[in-house]
Amino acid sequence: MEKIILAIETSCDECAAALVRGDKTILSSVIHTQLETHLQYGGVVPELAARAHLETIQAVVTRALTEAGCGYQDINAVAATIGPGLIGGVLVGANFAKAVALARGLPFMGVNHLEGHALTVRLTDDVAFPYLLLLVSGGHSQILAVLGVGQYRQLGTTLDDAVGECFDKVAKILGLGFPGGPAVEAAARLGQAQRFALPTPMRGRPGCDLSFSGLKTAVRRQVDALLNTQPKGLSPQDRTDMAASFQRAASDCLTDRVSQAMIVFRRDYINQVGYQVGYRAGDPAHDPAGASMRQEPTLVVAGGVAANQTLRQDLAQLARQQGFRWVAPPLALCTDNAAMIGWAGLERFRLGLIDPLTVPTRPRWPLDEMNEGGRA
């Protein structure tokens, strides 16, 4: 019988619980948003987020169990995010999960939140190791080679701001509201991306690192210049055009850096595992004898910013041009959720990577600090 895992995710402002079965069935996935709590502040307030998690976690877990048609007696293991994230919220979810594991005598898996994002495509699309990953969210912008559970090699990272943070700041500059990512994307649909000339930091440079502070500053300066000539403030067209111009520049930055990472991935990882670029597994017309042994290299995009349709389209086009399979999780699994934590927990459980209940929580925990045992 397939194992069932209860998973909890509280690393930021979403209080989430899910039950995931070993056959890749998501039995339930409940997310309680704190949007109304933080909306007036234009961003997440850590202290308020932690208090809200304390108030709602019991109800969220109970609802997840009810929707799955399960009781605590049906659970075989428990997983929870133990970092990185806002430490107050992380502590709430991790300690609740540890209490359940202790009370029921169940195995506990402490999951890296970023690993949850990184492994989601193995839940939804059955992607094999290794694959190239662009991980983009409010707090993280990284390009990694995913070699296995707990095995990650960072190829590039942001030198300053995360792209999701940049979306939030630009939304605030333009008065579009919070959260910034969906607000900017919605405004950009009505705008002209060619109107404002914005920089694409790091574009064309060697390596795979990213940078977004210069782009954010350029938006600020151009908006200020407009305000100096328009006493009545920005027009609706100004806002939509700037949103579209910014979104185009941000996507161009990411696409350029991923194209560089593809070169590194081919050189350092494809050859090591015998991949054949441009070959699709299961296509006997190319190689009937070895069809089952080979596959295209895969590009995966994950994290909250992976929900952006412009970025998805650009990366899909890049993948086609470079002979990569392109995969992204469904939109509901791009933003923070507990189902991804449940799947990562199941992957670790199957490998025997069970944690003691004394495993600490961590506000910072880069993926490439994990070793083969899964801990720094």
In order, the DSSP letters of 240-308 are HHHHHHHHHHHHHHHHHHHHHHHHHHIIIIIHHHT--TTPPTT-TTT-TTTGGG----EEEEESGGGG-
Q: Cβ(260)–Cβ(206) under 8 Å? A: yes
pLDDT at 282: 40
Task: Give Cα 102 to chain centroid, integer Å.
Answer: 30
**Which CATH number is 4-120+333-369's, of 3.30.70.960, 3.90.1150.10, 3.30.420.40, 3.30.920.30?**
3.30.420.40
What are the C-alpha distances in Å from 309 to residues 19, 145, 189, 209, 305? Answer: 28, 23, 10, 23, 9
pLDDT at site 179: 86
pLDDT per residue as tens, the chain (376 positions): 899 999 999 998 889 999 999 999 999 999 998 777 777 777 788 788 889 889 999 999 999 999 999 999 999 999 999 999 999 999 999 999 999 999 999 999 999 999 999 999 999 998 999 999 999 987 889 999 999 999 999 999 999 999 999 999 999 999 998 889 999 999 999 999 999 999 999 998 999 999 999 999 999 999 999 999 988 899 999 999 999 999 999 999 999 999 999 999 999 987 655 544 443 334 443 333 443 344 689 999 999 999 999 999 999 999 999 999 999 999 999 999 999 999 999 999 999 999 999 999 999 888 887 754 444 4
Across the beta sheet with 131-136, what order do the strands follow?
151-157, 141-148, 131-136, 298-302, 325-327
Size of the chain in residues: 376
Beta partners for residue 203, in sequence order: none
Q: Tell whether domain 128-328 is in CATH 3.30.1490.100.
A: no
Residue type, 267: R
Distance CA 65, CA 333 (A): 19
Residue 43: predicted pLDDT: 76
CA quadruple 124, 125, 130, 131: dihedral positive or negative?
negative
Residues 6+ apart with CB under 8 A from 81: 8, 9, 10, 11, 90, 93, 94, 110, 111, 112, 113, 116, 341
208, 156 contact by CB (below 8 A): yes
Residue 264 burial (CB count, 10 A):
17
CB 262 within 8 A of CB 324: yes
Q: How many CB atoms lie within 10 A of CB 192?
A: 14
Rounded distance between C-alpha atoms, residue 182 and residue 285, angstroms = 43
Q: Where are the domains of the chain?
A: 4-120+333-369, 128-328
Quote the DSSP letter at residue 150: T
Burial of 245 (0-12, 13-18, 19+ CB in 10 A): buried
- For the CA atoms of 303, 308, 312, 314, the dihedral, rounded to the nearest 10 degrees, stands at -120
pLDDT at residue 237, as a whole number: 97
